Amino acid sequence: MQVERKILLNPGPATTTDSVKGALVVEDICPREQEFGAVLEDIKHDLVKVVHGEEHYTSAIFAASGTGAMEAAITSAVPKDKKLLVIENGAYGKRMIQIANTYSIEVIAYQIPYGDYPDLEDIRKILETEKAISHLAVVHHETTTGILNPIKEITGLAHAYDVEVIIDAMSSYAGIPINMKELDAEYLLSSSNKCIQGMAGLSFVVFKKALLEKIKDNRRSYYFDIYSQYTGFENTGQMQFTPPVQVVYALKQAIKEYFNEGEKGRWERYSENWSMLYSGLQSLGFRFLLPYEQQSKILLAIIEPDHANYDFNQMHDFLYERGYTIYPGKGAKESTFRLSVLGDLHKKDVENFLNELKNYLNTAKIIIEQPD
């Protein structure tokens, strides 16, 4: 099956292969059948395998956007008499705080401007002072800015204070290599429509098997409860609530394609596409929000040009008509727009995009002046 190819440079949902799209077209099946349960069982195993957690980790799948997995991890993990420390240097750290507040979970927020790098010593001081903190939540790749937070160092620091760690790997899972054996974090969450390159509609939490009994009585949500979702499937071979059947088959195909490409191959493709995008934007005069060493090599936050003819919406529409989707900024410390290379993108896609962006600048008579 072939459909018109659109190049999505937004940070998910991502451009998918024709074979993943084709996997949506399957014969109808009741999701209570054993055959379908076997598909889900394979996916649950493979989701853990992607991050090298086979021995000590398992996973729970939810029919939801990525925010559902975030909600499940926070509401299932934090005991009712404990506090959650959230590192907020982007909109998705803020979302964690909002979820916790919704469920009356007491939150300690380490808030810094969106685009700043977390200071480990500041985090240490909070952990030393706030003895009731049981969990720390951090976004690995914060797509507000493209920053890659230092999850290994943060996890090690949290563990030194007997604090468990929840990692939002929404837009890094299956893109940037992650090894849960080495990282040793308690929870990691993502969704089906980011770097794994499936369709939107499923999210999941990878977590340590040993935590199941510990979280048994933490339930706050009827739907987003890791313990009941996991044990329910183990007991019946079925998800508790109706899953998006076709999206499951698309995820199965996307996982197959991930392993065919390999962890190394996917990361090299993403980082090479990002490097080409970075260099091409630089040559057009654009500047970036973050220093090079803090970049994720998946997404760029580009400082908007200070030019009378520049208008993001006009630029978006010009490029959209030509098959390219770009994304506005989201509350960073400077005005930005964002471009991501996650998904089934290749060097020719990036090259063609840069040519169209150059055409837009020429058409709009925009010459980007560098500051003195």
Q: CB burial class (10 A; 0-12, 13-18, 19+) of residue 9?
A: buried
Rounded percentage of the chain residues whose pLDDT exceeds 70: 99
pLDDT class for 369, splitting at 50, 70, 90? confident
In this prediction, residue 194 carries a pLDDT of: 97
Average pLDDT estimate for 339-353: 98
Residue 372 has pLDDT above 90, yes or no: no
In this prediction, residue 371 carries a pLDDT of: 65
SS3 letters across the chain: CCCCCCEECCCCCCECCHHHHHCCCCCCCCCCCHHHHHHHHHHHHHHHHHCCCCCCEEEEEECCCHHHHHHHHHHHHCCCCCEEEEEECCHHHHHHHHHHHHCCCEEEEEECCCCCCCCHHHHHHHHHHCCCEEEEEEECEECCCCEECCHHHHHHHHHHCCCEEEEECCCCCCCCCCCHHHHCCCEEEEECCCCCCCCCCCEEEEEEHHHHHHHCCCCCCCCCCHHHHHHHHHHHCCCCCCCCHHHHHHHHHHHHHHHHHCHHHHHHHHHHHHHHHHHHHHHCCCCECCCHHHECCCEEEEECCCCCCCCHHHHHHHHHCCCEECEECCCCCCCEEEEECCECCCHHHHHHHHHHHHHHHHHCCCCCCCCC
Residue 332 has pLDDT above 90, yes or no: no
In this prediction, residue 2 carries a pLDDT of: 66
Distance separating alpha carbons of residues 165 and 71, to the nearest angstrom? 14
Distance separating alpha carbons of residues 65 and 250, to the nearest angstrom? 15
For residue 230, how far is the Cα from the chain centroid? 22
Q: Which residues, in sequence order, are bridge partners of residue 108?
A: 85
In this prediction, residue 13 carries a pLDDT of: 94
The four Cα atoms 177, 214, 222, 34 give a dihedral, to 10 degrees, of 70
Residues 12-62 pLDDT 10s: 999 999 999 999 999 999 999 999 999 999 999 999 999 999 999 999 999
In this prediction, residue 330 carries a pLDDT of: 87
Average pLDDT estimate for 281-295: 95
Distance separating alpha carbons of residues 55 and 36, to the nearest angstrom? 24
- What value does the CA radius of gyration of the chain take, rounded to a whole number of Å? 21
Distance separating alpha carbons of residues 275 and 261, to the nearest angstrom? 19
In this prediction, residue 151 carries a pLDDT of: 98
Distance separating alpha carbons of residues 26 and 85, to the nearest angstrom? 44
Q: Which residues, in sequence order, are bridge partners of residue 339?
A: 300
Distance separating alpha carbons of residues 201 and 199, to the nearest angstrom? 6
- Give me the phi and psi of 134, to 5 degrees please: -105, -25
Residues 150-190 pLDDT 10s: 999 999 999 999 999 999 999 999 999 999 999 999 999 99
The four Cα atoms 7, 143, 342, 274 give a dihedral, to 10 degrees, of 90
Residues 208-227 pLDDT 10s: 999 999 999 999 999 999 99
Average pLDDT estimate for 71-81: 97
Side chain identity at 255, as an amino acid letter?
Answer: I
Distance separating alpha carbons of residues 369 and 336, to the nearest angstrom? 16
Residue 242 has pLDDT above 60, yes or no: yes
Edge to edge, what strands does the sheet with 106-111 contain? Answer: 57-62, 203-208, 187-191, 164-168, 133-139, 83-88, 106-111
Domains of the chain: 27-260 (3.40.640.10), 262-363 (3.90.1150.10)
Residues 150-161 pLDDT 10s: 999 999 999 999
pLDDT class for 324, splitting at 50, 70, 90? very high
Residues 129-144 pLDDT 10s: 999 999 999 999 999 9
